[in-house]
Amino acid sequence: MRSSLLPTLALAATLTFPAFAADDAAKKPNDIKVVCATTSKDGSRAVQGTDLVIEAGDKVTDAVAVDGNVIIRKGARVDDAVAIRGRVIVEAGARVTGDAVSMGGEVRIQNGARVDGSAIALGGKLTVDKDGVIGGDRVSLSFEIGGKDLLRGFIEEALEEETGCHIIDEDDEDKGEDKDV
């Protein structure tokens, strides 16, 4: 089985992911609505500020949601699923061939769902229904004091400053220019 550096790599990639496109769905403090989403040539999808739903028949390399959930529907297949400040929900009949990871949220494996790799919930809980299958490790790490999860708080603080989207215009990409939204 492969070594899993996925949580660390997902965090680093998400914070530095430059190819987000803006939409009108999530609220920022100044009442500007912004949602970021991208699909890469290798079949990866990433969103910020909304849920990423992988529908039946879809095959996705990496599914990443920041401030949203990754929801994998029946008949969908994902190599790795990562939610930062959100949940990874693998519905009945869905399959994750690699790892399902949530940082600051829950990983939920429903009856009839399958995760071939590890299921990891950092700062949240791992919920596996009776007939849910996990081929690798099951990790749920949280630390609560007075009803507050300290690990989740740490993750939220670490990510608090990065709330905007970065848009790279393909024409400006060679010049190294990007624009914050």
pLDDT by 10s per residue, the chain, length 181: 444 545 444 544 444 343 333 333 444 444 444 567 777 778 899 998 899 999 999 999 999 998 899 999 999 999 999 999 899 999 999 999 999 999 888 999 999 999 999 999 988 899 999 999 999 999 998 777 787 767 666 666 665 655 555 434 444 444 454 444 4
* Domain map (residue ranges) of the chain: 6-161
Q: Whole-model pTM above 0.95?
A: no
What's the rounded Cα separation, in Å, for the pair 15 and 19?
11
Phi-psi category of residue 80: left, alpha or beta, with phi > 0 → left and psi -120 to 50 → alpha: beta
> Which residue's entry shows tokens 């790799």?
117
